[in-house]
Amino acid sequence: MKRTIILSCLMALVFTACKNAEEKPTSKLTEPVAGLFESSLAPFYHGVASGDPLADRVILWTRVTPEDSVAYVPVLYQISDSKEFLTIIKADSAQALAEKDYTVKVDVDGLQPGTTYYYRFMALGKTSMIGRTKTTPTASRDSLKFAVVSCSNWEWGFFNAYDKIADREDIDAVLHLGDYIYEYGRGKYGDTTIRKNLPPHEIITLSDYRIRHSQYRLDKGLRSMSAQHPVIAIWDDHEVANNVYTAGAQNHQPDEGDFEKRKAAAVKAYYEWLPIREGTKHYRSFSYGALADVIMLDERLEGRTRPVDSLTSTDYHADRTMLGSEQLNWMENTLKNSTATWKVLGNQVMFADIELSVVYPNMPRNLDSWDGYPAEKKKLKEYILENKLKDLIFLTGDTHASWAIEVATEVKKTYNPKTSAGAFAIELGTTSISSANDNEYHDTDTVKMMEGALLSNNPHIKYLNARDHGYLLLTLYPDKAKGEWYYMETLRQPETTEYLGKKVEVGKGSVKLK
């Protein structure tokens, strides 16, 4: 009875405050993406989301879109252990502030580990869709399952892979490895016969980044996935600009203004629009009990300098860093101190050596990946070997292709493809949700020939698909890890079927993929 009285009082407070907030509108709120709104979802057009789960807490997110431009909108949230909300575990008020683009984030604590919860928001006399989330476990688990995604581009097609992930009941979390949005102007990187970017120009200002995030969250697949599973996200480059590093980016030009201001605007919008915990470093780790530690790296804005210009110099470029010394030390200590069976590294760009010259003679190595930072890459490899760290899984996005790799450096000198000697970890790359891969530029037979040439020239690569779009499903067991790549039949309409393209496994204590 007491809980009911408290909730009733909170509801009354919220709706009274809403009424008061509506009494003094300054003007109608202009929403450039309003043409994409589904009226039945008002004012929660962007749905709900959760993220950064811990054993006792999780971030809950929504966006309230008022009709008038007001300073804030009062909001009530509820969390329950049943989708019918028979028991309210926690309820409280929050505010959707204009200064935060009317987004709402609450860090709900006092929860139980390894538990599924349901949540909803109330504002302006309406109730949001119901979201589902899950805290991390502390007790032993027979298995864990993660959907691994990256690289969603509005103009290249609908985010159907997100929709298929939403349909899965057994996901512990979605690991997003970056390129959550793209910064390009309309038609600069995409197929405008499918969809068109908003705003139409390249995004540079805070308003621009907010509009682009708002547009992306109106995709049905992203909205569905966000409501069904907690997301653990890390940014890559396109959340700011192509090939970004701490002091600049390939896609930032002097006539586009001050880079630091642009970067700050991009970061602010990102933190507003994603269910991510603020006030800490962007790189962070998540414990999933004895079975896994998930270690998310920031390979763009924390300590990344410009990459080397080539690998032909005898100078080993010791001053070029991907992570920076502070993050590298944190990562090494986290790996060394981990007692979990599997150490899962959320890694934006490729770590393993890949010789590309057989297909791309003008780009023998991708210097925007770890190859552009040879000294730090060598240092991390030596640390792994010296400390005899086992059962490392690099999860990688960025390339718009699927990869299964036995991680080795100096492949032609030390690696044995029959025994896997010389390898010291595995790397599983997820393809893009929608961003262009080789099939957008070449016919399928040509792409298959390119894949075959890369596989022949890189014997440590055991699987490569540069044709299809989808996601990676990673399942961890006490004795093995399994990777499964699911692909979409089409991206040209918002409904499609998926199919399993490939499955690989690696045993505990092994680096041999099978």
Tokens standing for residue 459: 């014997």
Give residue 316's pLDDT: 58
**Rounded Cα distance, 266 and 338, in Å:** 33
User: pLDDT for 84-109, tens place per residue?
Assistant: 999 999 999 999 999 999 999 999 99
- Looking at the fold, whether 127 and 150 belong to one and the same domain comes out as no
Residue 512: Cβ-neighbour burial (10 angstroms; 0-12, 13-18, 19+) = middle
Contact (Cβ atoms closer than 8 angstroms) between residue 68 and residue 23: no
Helix or strand holding residue 220 (H, E): helix 220-228
**Rounded Cα distance, 383 and 369, in Å:** 19
User: pLDDT for 13-26, tens place per residue?
Assistant: 444 444 444 445 56
Distances (CA, A) of 352 to 194, 392, 393, 473: 35, 13, 11, 20
**Rounded Cα distance, 295 and 297, in Å:** 6
- Looking at the fold, whether 126 and 164 belong to one and the same domain comes out as no
Would 338 be classed as within a structural domain? yes
Give residue 187's pLDDT: 97
Q: Are strands 402-407 and 425-429 parallel, antiparallel or unpaired?
A: antiparallel
User: pLDDT for 416-459, tens place per residue?
Assistant: 999 999 999 999 999 999 999 999 999 999 999 999 999 999 99
- Looking at the fold, whether 84 and 170 belong to one and the same domain comes out as no
- Looking at the fold, whether 120 and 160 belong to one and the same domain comes out as no
User: pLDDT for 398-422, tens place per residue?
Assistant: 999 999 999 987 788 889 999 999 9
Domain count, the chain: 2
Would 140 be classed as within a structural domain? no
User: pLDDT for 344-356, tens place per residue?
Assistant: 999 999 999 999 9
User: pLDDT for 170-185, tens place per residue?
Assistant: 999 999 999 999 999 9
Is 70 exceeded by the pLDDT of residue 301?
Answer: yes
CA 496 to chain centre: 22
Tokens standing for residue 154: 């509005």
Residues of the chain with pLDDT > 70, as a percent, come to: 94
pTM of the model: 0.95
- Report long-range pairs for 486-491 (Cβ below 8 Å, ≥24 apart): 486/161, 486/164, 487/431, 488/160, 488/161, 488/164, 490/157, 490/160, 491/156, 491/157, 491/158, 491/160, 491/194, 491/434
- Looking at the fold, whether 99 and 224 belong to one and the same domain comes out as no
Contact (Cβ atoms closer than 8 angstroms) between residue 136 and residue 111: no
Out of 70, 104, 135, a domain closes at 135
Out of 135, 155, 174, a domain closes at 135
- Looking at the fold, whether 175 and 120 belong to one and the same domain comes out as no
Would 286 be classed as within a structural domain? yes
The b-or-e profile of 381-415 (16+ CB within 10 A means b, else e) is beebeeeebebbbbbbbbbbbbbbbbbbbebeeeb
Contact (Cβ atoms closer than 8 angstroms) between residue 511 and residue 420: yes
Would 514 be classed as within a structural domain? no
Would 513 be classed as within a structural domain? no
Task: For the chain, give the number of residues.
Answer: 514
The b-or-e profile of 158-183 (16+ CB within 10 A means b, else e) is bbbbbbbbbeeeebbbbbbbbbbbbb
Please give the mean pLDDT across all residues of the chain: 94
- Looking at the fold, whether 127 and 159 belong to one and the same domain comes out as no
Is 80 exceeded by the pLDDT of residue 3?
Answer: no
Give residue 224's pLDDT: 98
- Sequence-ordered list of residues with C-beta below 8 angstroms from that of 121, at least 6 positions apart, any chain: 44, 48, 60, 62, 64, 75, 76, 77, 104, 127, 128
Out of 106, 135, 164, a domain closes at 135
Is 60 exceeded by the pLDDT of residue 64?
Answer: yes
Is 80 exceeded by the pLDDT of residue 317?
Answer: no
What residue has token string 């007001």?
70
Task: Compute the average pLDDT of residues 203-232.
Answer: 98
CATH classification of the domain holding 97: 2.60.40.380
Strands (E), 19-165: 48-51, 58-63, 72-80, 88-97, 103-108, 116-123, 126-127, 131-134, 144-149
Contact (Cβ atoms closer than 8 angstroms) between residue 250 and residue 312: no
Give residue 408's pLDDT: 86
**Rounded Cα distance, 502 and 136, in Å:** 28
Give residue 22's pLDDT: 45
Task: Compute the average pLDDT of residues 260-272.
Answer: 98
User: pLDDT for 133-171, tens place per residue?
Assistant: 999 999 999 999 999 999 999 999 999 999 999 999 999
Query: How many Cα atoms within 13 Å fall on the side-chain side of residue 357?
Result: 3
Sign of the dihedral defined by the CA atoms of residues 241, 244, 247, 252, in that order: negative
Give residue 411's pLDDT: 84
What residue has token string 């509506």?
22
Would 512 be classed as within a structural domain? no
Residue 47: Cβ-neighbour burial (10 angstroms; 0-12, 13-18, 19+) = buried
- Sequence-ordered list of residues with C-beta below 8 angstroms from that of 425, at least 6 positions apart, any chain: 384, 392, 393, 394, 407, 511
**Number of helices (H) and strands (E), helices first, in the chain?**
9, 23
Rounded to 5°, angle at Cα 251 from 247 and 252 = 55
**Rounded Cα distance, 389 and 406, in Å:** 15
Other beta carbons less than 10 A from residue 361's beta carbon? 8
Would 379 be classed as within a structural domain? yes
- Sequence-ordered list of residues with C-beta below 8 angstroms from that of 87, at least 6 positions apart, any chain: 80, 81
Contact (Cβ atoms closer than 8 angstroms) between residue 49 and residue 227: yes
Task: Compute the average pLDDT of residues 30-35.
Answer: 96
- The residue segments making up the domain with residue 34 are 2-135
Would 61 be classed as within a structural domain? yes
